[in-house]
Amino acid sequence: MNHTMSTPSVASQSSDRTHYKMYIGGEWVDAADGEVFDTMNPYTGRAWATIPRGRAADAERAVAAAKTAFESGDWPKLTATNRGHLLRRLADLITESAEHLARIEVIDNGKLINEMLGQVRYIPQWFHYFAGLADKVQGAVIPIDKPETLNFTRREPLGVCVAITAWNSPLLLAAYKLAPGLAAGNTFVLKPSEFTSASALEFAKLVEKAGFPPGVVNVVTGFGAEIGEPLVAHPSVAKVAFTGSEIAGQRVYETAARGLKRVTLELGGKSPNIVFDDAELDNAVRGVISGIFAATGQTCVAGSRLLVQRSIYEPFIDRVVAFARTARMGDPLDIRTQVGPITTPPQYKKVLDYIAIAKAEGATCLLGGKPATGPECGEGQFIEPTIFGDVDNKMRIAQEEVFGPVLACIPFDDYEDAIAIANDSPYALAAGVWTQSVRRAMTMSERLQAGTVWVNTYRAVSYMSPFGGHKRSGVGHENGMDSILDYTKIKSVWINTAREVPDPFVMR
């Protein structure tokens, strides 16, 4: 339902809904045409807020604001050290607002309050870490092979960057992009998913409060085709950092390529979680459950393929099924809840479709396999934790990303068999290995095709460690010390100290 917002406030309350505005050039504004759309609570099934429906005109003014902020005003005058001070101030404000931000995310995306509160409390570390790196981005003096010549390099910010985030962890994914990019001196237009825009707009309030100059961070909202594509295609945008689906990522890549823009793409996964017969089995069971059900399977690194050594396959799967059967579904704002709803109606349908496909392909449903409709589920879009046995790695349920609480179990014979099955995938984002053998852990980490390999743990991330995928899982990496360099360009400076210019017709 679209209607015009009449309230002048940043986010106002009428009846039971919050009405948000976009943040552009340091001002809180409606969409240019005044349209809005509803955002739904996945647990109650009801609209709880209205979000501005931005379009090309809004993309234009956001990029213009970011470009002006990059080229003039207070931002380019700041030293790198002072940029770091602003980032630290923002980090402290996020810490103070963590509970509020986490609650907004849960209401908007249906993930567990324990999960989202943990994420939001961790996010300030991204801004503290990259604040510390802001004044340590250095060039180099090159001992050049030319006489009477000084050659050195400078690392400079790229300019206007666009950050587009997915609906499953909106603020964490924004931190992956904004923290290094701002530390390097860039300006940003952030476009969150249309399904989970509220927390980004709440975050913008903290950016304003921290004292960032107008236009340095802009937050626009709307649908991909209507405002996302104009942002990616805009000639003043230097880089696009995107997290989302493979199909959307391809579209972003193609559009950005026409403008020869830099990109970072973090896309899908079909990650193997591999259990050897020498593993600590209790820990491995917990790791399997964490990998696929803790976030309702709605994470790009979900360990959705469980590979178990054949000698322990049946008893181990029995233990996983027994553990998963105890998972408590319910209100994601209840700290006792362990499995929440599917975030969006399209995703809910997609997960159910894949369950039907798995059954049609001959996989055996060992647990779940249908919607959950108990009173604890309210009006939400719940799907029972689902486990399939008798899965062949060629089946679609093993090759395609489901992004839901669906686990495909596959036996393997030995180390070589495990490697072959794990790497037989179009994706290469993450992998888990459960073993007590150091030799096996090191060899597996070397031969697995994945951007991240976890050994005897799963779903661990840090601002200090690079994160990204290979193959169809994406392009480039985020986090870690080197990621700040991906938001810079290198300039080579040559200074001739000779008294006379040599022969102009000969390359020096």
Please identify every residue annotated as catalytic.
266, 300
- Tokens representing 471? 């193959």
Expressed in angstroms, the distance from the first to the final Cα of the chain is 67
Amino acid at 100: H
CA distance 57 to 197: 19
Residues in a beta bridge with 29 = 22
Among 54, 48, 130, 49, CA closest to 86: 130
* 424 backbone dihedrals φ, ψ, rounded to 5°: -85, 70
According to DSSP, the β-strands at 470-471 and 427-428 are antiparallel
- Tokens representing 245? 């689906």
CA distance 376 to 43: 10
Q: Which residues contact 300 (CB under 8 A, 6 or more apart)?
A: 166, 168, 243, 266, 267, 268, 269, 429, 469, 473
Specify the DSSP class assigned to residue 278. T
CA distance 256 to 233: 6
Three-class secondary structure of residue 209 per DSSP: helix
Three-class secondary structure of residue 281 per DSSP: helix
CA distance 241 to 252: 9
**487 CA to centre of own chain:** 17
CA distance 148 to 133: 34
Q: How far is it between the farthest Cα atoms of the chain?
A: 87
Q: Is 402 exposed, middle or buried (0-12, 13-18, 19+ CB in 10 A)?
A: buried
- Tokens representing 19? 């009405």
Among 452, 491, 479, CA closest to 181: 479
To 5 degrees, how large is the angle CA 103–CA 222–CA 349?
Answer: 70
Among 228, 234, 221, CA closest to 247: 228
Q: Which residue has the tokens 């050290």?
A: 81
What is the Cα Rg of the chain in Å?
Answer: 24
Q: By the 8 A CB rule, do 199 and 171 touch?
A: yes
Q: Which residues contact 33 (CB under 8 A, 6 or more apart)?
A: 53, 55, 57
